[in-house]
Amino acid sequence: MININKFVRKNIKKLIPYQSARRIGGVGKIWLNANESPFRNNKNLFCKNLNRYPDQEYHMLLDKYSRYANVLPENILATRGSDEAIELIIKAFCNPGKDKIMFFPPTYDMYKIYADILCIKISTVLQLKNFQLNINSIKKKYSSVKIIFICNPNNPTGNTILSQDIIDILEFFKKKCLVVIDEAYIDFCLQETSIMLLNRFSNLIILRTLSKAFGLASIRCGFLISNERIINIINKIIAPYPLGTPILNIALDALTKSNISVIKNNIFNLIENKNFLITKLKKHKFIKKIYPSKTNFILIKFFSSKDVFNLLSQFGIITRDQNFKIFLKNCIRISIGTYEECLNLVNILKKIEK
């Protein structure tokens, strides 16, 4: 057999891949580890003309999402999830072995993963202990940084970044580098969006997705939103026909007025479930802290996260261990499920104090 290791790039050999929720796995019936929506979309969609590459549907999707996001269609690209958008931005603007990206741990892991894959250097500035940005340190540490990534709301902490801090960074770096605001969870708190800043700052890129609030994680549909010059550059390197006809049809259906009303109702129910869950969990002495969240998940600091994680796993409830991340010792991230799933979680956690 061929010795494939002789052909693999050195950085790929050393790369520690992103551990997605499904890759980590687990055995259970209640999945609260991937920040998916617990509400299923059971509509049956029949796709015609599957022998043809999609074209018209793609532009229809840009038009529909532009109305939802309140931007022009020419300011949007649809991508295979917002993860692909992260990769495309780094590919388009960073020179391997020379340029850097900057991000602020604890945050989403894929910024680092893509940088490692593409041989791009990394500069990090730790968040403050309240999970806000350390603006002074960010400005001081800037050097050869091409792209800054800000996750807002942040994953896995669940908080939003102060809007004035985002504006401060955009202003300071407006002629120095690009600033990407990853708004994967923004639909749960639309008032926190940076969309209105697009006309003010030419270095701003915003990422969105249908994976979270829209409950369509499986179809992998995201959006890159920016000015036309940046959109045209990314368009040069995106794969031909990035989204297939079935995905486009599902996404188009998701963005109808009637379905957006359903999504808004689902968001309301998720927030109600989150408030219920937090109220119940606050009564437990084995919980050290429940962090404020504007998303469909909560971050909880336990006195012993390992014991809690293992107990939940034994009863078929799969959550996301964050114990290995900076500032997140003994923390678990729990996605908000249905009311019944939240109640089940509460009842199982009661066993710890018995």
Given this model, what pLDDT does residue 36 score? 73
Given this model, what pLDDT does residue 2 score? 39
DSSP 8-state symbol, 93: H
Return the CATH number of the domain spanning residue range 4-35+259-353.
Answer: 3.90.1150.10
Q: Which helix (H) or strand (E) holds 258?
A: helix 257-281
Tell me the Ramachandran region of residue 190: left when phi exceeds 0, alpha when psi lies from -120 to 50, beta otherwise: alpha
Given a contact cutoff of 8 angstroms between Cβ atoms, the answer to whether 76 and 225 are in contact is yes
Question: Does the pLDDT at position 78 exceed 60?
Answer: yes
Can you tell me the mean pLDDT for 292-297?
97
61 closest CA partner among 218, 223, 229: 223
Return the CATH number of the domain spanning residue range 56-256.
Answer: 3.40.640.10
Is pLDDT larger for residue 141 or for residue 49? Answer: 141
Return the residue matching tokens 């400005």. 139
Given this model, what pLDDT does residue 42 score? 55
Cα distances (angstroms) measured from residue 177 to each of 79, 149, 326: 22, 11, 26
| Average pLDDT taken over every residue of the chain | 91
Band (281; pLDDT cuts 50, 70, 90): very high
Given this model, what pLDDT does residue 113 score? 95
Cα distances (angstroms) measured from residue 217 to each of 158, 262, 273, 348: 18, 16, 20, 27
Cα distances (angstroms) measured from residue 205 to each of 110, 141, 230, 231, 268: 17, 21, 8, 9, 28
In the chain, where are the structural domains located? 4-35+259-353, 56-256
**Residues 200-214: pLDDT tens digits?**
999 999 999 999 999
- Asked, colleague to colleague, whether 4-35+259-353 and 56-256 share their fold, the answer is no
DSSP 8-state symbol, 214: T
Cis ω on the peptide bond leading into residue 38 (within 30° of 0)? no
Question: Does the pLDDT at position 222 exceed 60?
Answer: yes
Band (31; pLDDT cuts 50, 70, 90): confident
Q: What is the value of pTM for the model shown?
A: 0.89
